[in-house]
């Protein structure tokens, strides 16, 4: 699948992978801050942004998409920064193709399965609300972005998340609104997207140690919990784990300067 992307900056390659319901545009501010040091590829993953739609969305799919992207753009090795779903894609890609990784930066996601983890009930409930809210919108009754927001608020009473989701609205030539991302495919594949690594498949002989790894977690987020460090260390034994204070799951948007500083410290110190 040929993924939509933007390219800025110069230097060694850095690929940025957005999270679920996101798109490459969400990361332009961070990318511009890093553009003096890297040639940055901001990718729309399948079913998101302007990339093609598909009925299937597994990490095997997304790893294959990324490998095709590497080959199409003659990228031998790259650093990868991935947030949430994008972080999972980055981790799965690193385990499948470790020779293509210069460094790995994972933003607020654990390698674990959120479907199987009993502590992940709040995340599962939030995803259910988001998907139901997006699917509930009757676009025949919509004349503005505010109309969409008002419809969604009946199911998802979180205005900040709604504003983030509204970035996925598009308007056709007849001035009719619709979702740009493939919300039906996301609904049908959400368990695949929330899946994770099998701890039993990793040991000292196949742990990934040949490139530096950084995990960034939001202080107010519950996506990476203290006990997740066991699985992180099993796959990436020498990973740095850094907390961004006063930040939730969208830590790059909530604390952009601290997020940028943590990346620069990791890359250059």
Output the domain CATH number for residue 250.
3.40.50.1820
Q: Are residues 70 and 200 in the same domain?
A: yes
Residues 171 and 201 in one domain: no
- Choosing from 163, 192, 221, the residue where a domain stops is 192
Distance CA(14)–CA(37), nearest Å, equals 9
Q: Are residues 131 and 43 in the same domain?
A: no
Nearest to 10 by CA among 42, 35, 41: 35
Q: Based on the domain organization, do 182 and 207 belong to the same domain? A: no
pTM of the model: 0.96
pLDDT of residue 101: 98
* Under 8 Å between Cβ of 24 and 5: yes
**Ranges in the chain, pLDDT < 70:** none
Residue where a domain terminates, one of 192, 210, 232: 192
Please state the domain count of the chain.
2
CB 251 within 8 A of CB 221: yes
Q: Residue 44: its pLDDT value, please? A: 98
Last residue of a domain, one of 160, 175, 192: 192
Same-domain status, 111 and 206: yes
Range of the domain at 21: 5-117+195-268
Q: Is 241 helix (H, G, I), strand (E, B) or coil?
A: strand
Mapping DSSP to helix (H, G, I), strand (E, B) and coil, where does residue 103 land?
strand
As a whole number of Å, the end-to-end CA separation of the chain is 37
């Amino acid at each position: 699948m040929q993924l939509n992307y933007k390219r800025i900056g110069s230097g060694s390659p850095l690929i940025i992978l957005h999270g679920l319901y996101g798109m490459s545009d969400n990361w332009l501010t961070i990318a511009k801050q890093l553009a003096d040091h890297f040639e940055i590829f901001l990718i729309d993953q399948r079913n998101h942004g302007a990339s093609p739609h598909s009925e299937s969305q597994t990490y095997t799919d997304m790893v294959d998409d990324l490998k095709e992207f590497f080959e199409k753009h003659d990228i031998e090795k790259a650093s990868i920064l991935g947030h949430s779903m994008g972080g999972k894609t980055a981790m799965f890609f690193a385990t499948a193709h470790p020779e293509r990784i210069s460094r790995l930066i994972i933003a607020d996601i654990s390698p674990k399965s959120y479907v199987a983890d009993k502590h992940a009930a709040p995340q599962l409930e939030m995803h259910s609300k988001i998907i139901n809210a997006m699917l509930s919108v009757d676009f025949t009754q919509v004349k503005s972005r505010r109309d969409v927001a008002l419809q969604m608020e009946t199911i998802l009473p979180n205005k900040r998340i709604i504003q983030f989701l509204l970035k996925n609205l598009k308007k056709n030539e007849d001035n009719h609104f619709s979702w740009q991302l493939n919300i039906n495919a996301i609904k049908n594949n959400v368990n695949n997207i929330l899946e994770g690594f099998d701890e039993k498949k990793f040991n000292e002989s196949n742990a990934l140690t040949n490139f530096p790894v950084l995990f960034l977690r939001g202080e107010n987020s519950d996506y990476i919990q203290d006990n997740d460090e066991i699985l992180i260390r099993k796959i990436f034994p020498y990973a740095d784990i850094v907390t961004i204070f006063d930040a939730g799951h969208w830590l790059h948007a909530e604390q952009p300067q601290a997020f940028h500083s943590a990346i620069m410290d990791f890359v250059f110190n």
